[in-house]
Amino acid sequence: MAFDWFWKAMGTSPHKNQKKSMAVVAQAGADRYREATEEELRKAAAQSVVRQQFEDGSLIREGKVLDESKLLGVVREVARRTLGLSPFDVQMQGTLRLLAGDVVEMGTGEGKTLAGAMAAVGYALQGKRVHVITVNSYLATRDDEWMGPMFDFFGISHGAISEELTSDERRDIYSRDVIFGAINELGFDVLRDQLITKRADQVRSEADVAVIDEADSVMVDEALVPLVLAGSEPGNAPLGHITELVKSMVEQQHFLISEDQRNVFLTDAGAAFAERKLGIESLYGTADEGRSGSAAEQSRSEKKDDAGESEVASEKEDTETEEDQAGSGDLLVQINVALHAEHLLQRDVHYIVRDGKVLLIDGSRGRVADLQRWPDGLQSAVEAKEGLQVTDGGRILDQLTIQALIGMYPEVCGMTGTAMAAGDQLRQFYDLKVSVIQPNVPVQRFDEQDAVFASIEDRNEAVVKHIVEIQKTGQPQLVGTQDVAESEYIARELKKVGVECAVLNAKNHEAEAGVISEAGRPRRVTVSTQMAGRGTDIKLGGTEEDERDAVVEAGGLHVVGVGRFRSQRLDNQLRGRAGRQGDPGSSVFFVSIEDDVVAVGGAGEELQAQPDDEGRLTQKKVLNFVDHCQRVTEGQMLDIHATTWKYNKLIKDQRDIINGRRDDLLDTSTAWDDLSYHNVDKANELKAAGIPEETLEQAAREIMLFHLDYEWSEHLAYLDDIRESIHLRAIARESPIDEFHRMSIAAFGDLADRAVRKARETFDDARITADGVDLGELGLHKPSATWTYMVNDNPLNSGGGSAMGSIAQLFR
C-alpha cells in the first residue's frame, strides 16, 4: 500500500488488524449459535473469557478474552434474540477492536451503539466494571434502555446516570456492572466524591473500563474543558464602574486586540487612562509583588483566617488592601476581564441572552450548554455588559479536566465516525490506537469540490442560491454553519427567497431530536451548527422512511458546509451525515478566504487570485491554499493541546497527592492520632467526658479534611492567579510554563503542613461533644451550596474545544 509508511507512523496498520478481525468474525459465523438453548449460550459465554479475581483488594487473576470467535458468536446471537438486531460483520469487527482497547472508526449510521454495547458485554463477562460514556444524559438513558435486554440475558446489571438522580440512586447505579453516563455527569461525581468526610458517603465505585462514544469529540475537542465544582461565595466580578470605564476605552489607543481575536491587551496609554479615571497611582504596583511568590500565597491563605496572631507586616498590608474592596492587583484583572467581555465575546456567537441570563453556547455543538459558565469574573462581566443582574460568583473548590478524568480509567476504548484524523492526539495523549472499520455497505456519497469566494458576502449569496437550486431537485439538505449567528443569518436569507427551514441551535434544543429525525424528508432544509454529539442519524424519507423512495430518487441527503471547520475531521463529521448505510448522498463546502480558518491559518500569506463576476475564485492554487490554512490551524490546535496538557498534568499530579492524603484521612485514624498527640490534655478531657472513640475520630477527620480541602481550593485559586499574571505581563519570559511549574511547585510544597497546622489550631479551639464537632461555630463554613459546571474558558474559539487555549497560546 502506498500509505503504509503513514499507518506505521500512526502506530497502527488498519489492514493487518482488519484481516485478523475479519477472520475471527468469519469464525464466529452468523448461524453458529442459532439453535443453542439459553443455557448453552450462557455457558459458552462464560467459557470464552477469564474472569478477573481479587484477593484482599489486590488483583490475583487478570480478566481476558480466551476465545474471541466464541464470545462474538454468542453475543451476536443474543443481540439477535433480545434486541431484534442481527449485528453486521463490521459491527462485530468493531466490537473486537474495542475489546482490544482501540478507538474504532465507524461511519454515521453504522450502528456504533450496538458495537459498543457488545464490547461492554465482553468486558463485563471478564468481571470488569464498564462505563459507557456518552456526550449527553439523554443518550445515556436511551442507550441503557435500548441495549438493556442484551445485558439482562447475561445477568449483567446495568443502569444510566442522569442529572435528576439522588446520591443514593447514583450510588446504587455505580455499583452495577455496566453504567451509561454523560461525560460531565461522571466527572461531577468524581469531584463531589473528593469532598466527602465519611467513606460511606462516596457515590462512585471504581470502574475498570471506559467505552467512549464520539471518542474524538470527548477526548480531543473537549479534552481540556475543566469540570468545576464550586461553592457559593461572592465573586470577584468587575464592579459597575469598571464596566463603564472599559466602555469608554478606545481600540488601538487604550488596548489592542490580537490578530487571531483571542487576546486583548491594555496599552501603556490604556493603563494610564484607567489609573487617571480611577484615581489610583498604579495598576501594576502591588500586583507585581503580590503575585510573584510564596508571600502572596501566604497572604492569600491567611486572609480569611482571623485567628492570625503573628502575621508579618507585609501580610497585614495585603489584608488591608483586600478590605478596601479593590486591591490594585484585582483591578487589573477586572479591567482585563471587562475588556475581554466587551470586545472578544459576541452575543449570539459565544453566548445568547435568554430570560435575563447569559447562556453560553457550546461551540462544538452549537447549542446552549446549560451547565457551563465562564470563570466567574468573566461571566459577571458579560452580565454587566448586557446590563443584566450580575450573579454572585463562587469559589472554585475543585476542578478536573476531561482528559484527566479519562486518565483515571485503567482501560479505555471508544468509537467515532472520524477517529483516523484524531489519531495523532489519541496516540500522543492517551496512548490509544485507531482501527478503521470498513462500512457495511460502500459509501456512495459524492463530495463536490469546495466553492471558494473572495468575501463572506459572496459566499453567503452563493450558498442561498445553491440551496434554492438543490431544493428544486427534491433532495433534503443539511446546512452546517460555524456558529449560531451564521445559522440565523442563513435562515433569514433563505426566508427572503421563500425557502422555509428548520434551525437547530442553542435556542430551540428541546425540539431538536424530533427535527433531526424528520430532516430526511423531501425538500426539507435543516440549518445547524456542528453536528457532533447530536446523536441521532438522519434517515432518508423520515423516521418511518415512508418517503424514502422519492428521496433516493432525488439523490439522497445533500450536505452544505458553510465555511470549513478548524479541522478536516470536523468537516468530515458534517459530511458523514449524508450517505449512511450505502444511501445516495452528496456534499459541498462553501468557503471564503475571509473565513476564520483561512484568515488565522494563512495569516501573513498573500494570495494572488482574481475572482469572477460572482466573487468566486476557481484557480487550483486557491483550493490548495484553503487546505493549507486548515492544516496550519490543525497544527496550532495540536500545539495548544500539548502545552495545556503539560499545565494540566502538573495540577493532576498535585491532585493525586492530595487524594492519597484524603484517602488516608478517610480510612484510618490518622487525623485523631495526630490531633490527640498534638494536644494530649484536650484529648484526655474529651475521652474522660465519655465521648465515644468513633465520634472523636470522625470529628478529627472533619477538622483535618476541612483544612486540607480549603488549602487545596486556595491553591487552585493561586494557580489561576499565576497563570493570569504570567498572561498579563505579555510574556517577556523565556518559558512561561517553566515559570509556572516553578511557582506552583513551590506553593504546593507546604500546603499539607499548613493544613495540619491549621487543623491543630482548630482542634485546640473547637467544642467537641457527643454530637461531634460544629466547625461553623468557629467561622469555618463549608460552602452552603455547591454546583458544578463546565468552563468554556476559551470562548474566543468559536469552534469550541480547547479550553485555556488562549492562555496556552501565550505559553508557546
Residues in touch with ligand ADP (CB under 6 A): 85-88, 91, 106, 108-114, 537
Does residue 207 contact residue 159 with C-beta atoms inside 8 Å? no
Whole-angstrom distance, CA of residue 401 vs CA of residue 532: 20
Q: Write down the least CB distance from residue 418 to ligand ADP, Å.
A: 12
The x, y and z cell numbers of residue 242, run together, are 469598571
Q: Write down the least CB distance from residue 109 to ligand ADP, Å.
A: 5
Whole-angstrom distance, CA of residue 488 vs CA of residue 501: 10
Q: Is residue 110 annotated as involved in ligand binding?
A: yes
The x, y and z cell numbers of residue 709, run together, are 480541602
Residue 227 has phi, psi (to 5 degrees) of: -90, 135
For cell 484557480, the residue is 619
Phi-psi label, residue 584: left if phi above 0, alpha if psi -120 to 50, beta otherwise: beta
The x, y and z cell numbers of residue 320, run together, are 488591608
Nearer to ligand ADP, 435 or 725 (CB): 435
The x, y and z cell numbers of residue 51, run together, are 474472569
Q: SS3 helix, strand, coil % of the chain, rounded to 5?
A: 50, 15, 35
Q: Write down the least CB distance from residue 437 to ligand ADP, Å.
A: 10
Query: Which residues make beta-bridge pairs with 181?
Result: 133, 161
For cell 474558558, the residue is 793
Torsion angle (degrees, nearest 10) of CA 723, 729, 730, 732: -100
Does residue 414 contact residue 211 with C-beta atoms inside 8 Å? yes
Nearer to ligand ADP, 153 or 718 (CB): 153
Nearest to 587 by CA among 418, 437, 443, 482: 443
Provide the sign of the torsion angle of the four alpha carbons 112, 118, 123, 124, taken in this order: positive
Length of the chain: 812
Does residue 249 contact residue 267 with C-beta atoms inside 8 Å? no
Q: Write down the least CB distance from residue 90 to ligand ADP, Å.
A: 9
Q: Write down the least CB distance from residue 213 to ligand ADP, Å.
A: 7
Nearest to 531 by CA among 587, 581, 493: 587
Q: Is residue 112 annotated as involved in ligand binding?
A: yes
Nearer to ligand ADP, 114 or 768 (CB): 114
Nearest to 272 by CA among 344, 338, 335: 335
For cell 474545544, the residue is 801
Nearer to ligand ADP, 112 or 365 (CB): 112
Nearer to ligand ADP, 88 or 453 (CB): 88
For cell 478548524, the residue is 566
Provide the sign of the torsion angle of the four alpha carbons 690, 695, 697, 702, taken in this order: negative
Q: Write down the least CB distance from residue 87 to ligand ADP, Å.
A: 5
Burial class (CB in 10 A: 0-12, 13-18, 19+), 784: exposed
Q: Write down the least CB distance from residue 634 to ligand ADP, Å.
A: 24
What CA–CA distances, in Å, run from 254 to 245, 249, 331, 738, 806? 11, 6, 16, 31, 21
Nearer to ligand ADP, 212 or 359 (CB): 212
Q: Write down the least CB distance from residue 537 to ligand ADP, Å.
A: 5
Query: Which residues make beta-bridge pairs with 357?
Result: 354
What letter does residue 347 receive in the DSSP assignment? Answer: B
Q: Write down the least CB distance from residue 521 to ligand ADP, Å.
A: 17
What letter does residue 389 receive in the DSSP assignment? Answer: P
Nearest to 117 by CA among 24, 74, 180: 180
Whole-angstrom distance, CA of residue 464 vs CA of residue 144: 41
What CA–CA distances, in Å, run from 608 to 311, 598, 622, 625, 806? 67, 14, 9, 11, 31
Whole-angstrom distance, CA of residue 446 vs CA of residue 261: 35
Whole-angstrom distance, CA of residue 718 vs CA of residue 731: 19
CA angle 180, 371, 430 (to 5 degrees): 55
Nearer to ligand ADP, 329 or 535 (CB): 535
For cell 471504581, the residue is 206
Q: Is residue 113 annotated as involved in ligand binding?
A: yes
Q: Is residue 321 annotated as involved in ligand binding?
A: no
Q: Write down the least CB distance from residue 540 to ligand ADP, Å.
A: 12
The x, y and z cell numbers of residue 674, run together, are 495526630
Q: How many CB atoms lie within 10 A of CB 45?
A: 21
Whole-angstrom distance, CA of residue 69 vs CA of residue 222: 35
Q: Write down the least CB distance from residue 812 to ligand ADP, Å.
A: 36
Nearer to ligand ADP, 90 or 186 (CB): 90
Q: Is residue 111 annotated as involved in ligand binding?
A: yes
> Which residues make up each annotated binding site?
91, 109-113, 537
> Which residues make up each annotated binding site for ATP?
91, 109-113, 537
